[in-house]
């Protein structure tokens, strides 16, 4: 699954990597992005790609309560094309969710230890995402999104059985935003095939109120494990 992630890259890098139409988005480094928060989302519009903020946790158009979104931060790749809440967004409202790493928790010595997962060099990438616009009871338009997950690859399997779908090439970004073939789109929803860097971090990340670069620094409690043992 994906329940926390980071996006520390500045707006200039985001604009360059994702070919954004306009560089007018205000963004500060974030090291502990959590469900329910507003996150950066890239969509394809007639004039080009745009980046905006959406709430993390998709609210289906038929929902009567915004709290429904808290149950829908992730969408499973295997069933995304037949689940009522996700089918429409998968077919018509796909997005890129930029990130440079994410967290998961592994059981070690009876406790859950936070693990940080990124690409070598903390390369900027995107999660495959879907979005929706929900009309709140007061008439307000609320934009929300979900991150798509898939079975884990060899790097993540010992930590969790699910991982987010990672798109790290422009060809994939373009295909995900523009392609109109459900079968081909589903084939993109697979475990990441490239190399990854995986290491333990401080339990400070457990609180979504904590947000600093310190959260992504390697942390080996009592020298009980190493990066190699976790990957």
Q: Which residues of the chain have pLDDT under 70?
A: 1, 22-25, 221-231
Are 41 and 95 a contacting pair, CB within 8 Å? yes
Q: Where are the domains of the chain?
A: 4-230
Through-space distance between the first and last CA atoms of the chain, rounded to whole angstroms: 17
How open is the CA angle 219-225-227, to the nearest 5 degrees?
70
pTM, entire model: 0.93
Give the pLDDT of residue 23.
60
Q: What is the pLDDT of residues 95-111, one digit of tens each?
A: 999 999 999 999 888 88
Q: What is the pLDDT of residue 220?
A: 73
pLDDT value of residue 208: 93
CATH number at 4-230:
3.90.1680.10
Q: For residue 75, what are the CA distances in angstroms to 48, 82, 129, 162?
A: 26, 11, 9, 11
């Amino acid at each position: 699954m994906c329940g926390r992630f980071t996006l520390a890259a500045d707006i200039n890098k985001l604009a360059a990597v994702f070919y954004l139409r306009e560089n007018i988005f205000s963004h500060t480094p974030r090291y502990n992005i959590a469900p329910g928060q507003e996150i950066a989302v890239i969509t394809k519009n007639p004039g080009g790609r745009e980046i905006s903020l959406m709430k993390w946790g998709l609210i289906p158009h038929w929902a009567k309560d915004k709290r429904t979104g808290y149950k829908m931060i992730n969408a499973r790749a295997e069933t995304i094309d037949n689940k009522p809440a996700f089918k429409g967004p998968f077919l018509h409202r796909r997005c890129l969710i930029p990130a440079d790493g994410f967290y998961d928790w592994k059981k070690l010595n009876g406790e859950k230890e936070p693990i940080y997962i990124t690409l070598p060099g903390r390369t900027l990438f995107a999660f495959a995402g879907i979005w929706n616009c929900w009309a709140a009871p007061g008439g307000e338009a609320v934009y929300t999104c979900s991150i798509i997950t898939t079975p884990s690859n060899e790097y993540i399997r010992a930590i969790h059985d699910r991982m987010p779908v990672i798109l790290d090439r422009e060809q994939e970004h373009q295909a995900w935003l523009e392609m109109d073939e459900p079968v081909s789109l589903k084939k993109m929803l697979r475990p990441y095939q490239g190399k990854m860097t995986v290491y333990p971090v401080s339990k400070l990340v457990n609180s979504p109120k904590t947000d600093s670069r310190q959260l992504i620094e390697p942390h080996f409690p009592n020298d009980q494990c190493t990066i190699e043992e976790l990957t």
